[in-house]
Amino acid sequence: MKTVKDCISQKTQRTISVSSGDSVQLALEMMKQHRVRAVLVIDSDQLVGIISQGDCAIRALLPGKDAKTTRVSEIMTRDPITVKLGDPMEHCMGLMATRSIRHLPVLGADKVIGVVSIGDVVKEMMTDLSQHVSFLETYIKGHSA
């Protein structure tokens, strides 16, 4: 499998973020606008959390909190698990599976570079499997002639 750097370099979308003092409504609007399911929470250029659609639904809307007045800091996941550019995508897959998470912020020199999502991991797995199948087909055809 490839590395996080390989994955990030193929993505065109910039990192979407809000600040911890922003409203949950703004976070949801950002998710809708950019067609993502989570946004990073960045204060003074430092990653302080992550907030997902699930966080908004379970921690704000279900308890009856007002999305317009509830602050991101009240419901975000603080100090999210992160990965580095050199980490293999297999490492991301392992973290996501064992920690039940779908988004991993990517840090380089303590700055956010991007996000690896579960969709990125699945795409990488499919590409990897396709290459293995092609190799095996070529191998079998070469030995059965």
Residue 132 has pLDDT above 80, yes or no: no
- Cα separation, 107 vs 117, in Å, equals 14
Q: Strand, coil or helix: what is 78?
A: strand
pLDDT, residue 131, reads 72
28-57 residues labelled b (16+ CB within 10 A) or e (exposed)? bebbeeeebebbbbbeeeebbbbbbeebbe
Residue 11 phi, psi (nearest 5): -90, 140
Q: Which domains does the chain have, with CATH numbers?
A: 4-143 (3.10.580.10)
The pTM of this model reads: 0.84
pLDDT tens digits for 36-82? 999 999 999 999 999 999 999 999 999 999 999 999 999 999 999 99
Q: Which of 87, 95, 94, 98 is nearest to 5 (CA)?
A: 87
**pLDDT, mean of residues 25-41:** 96
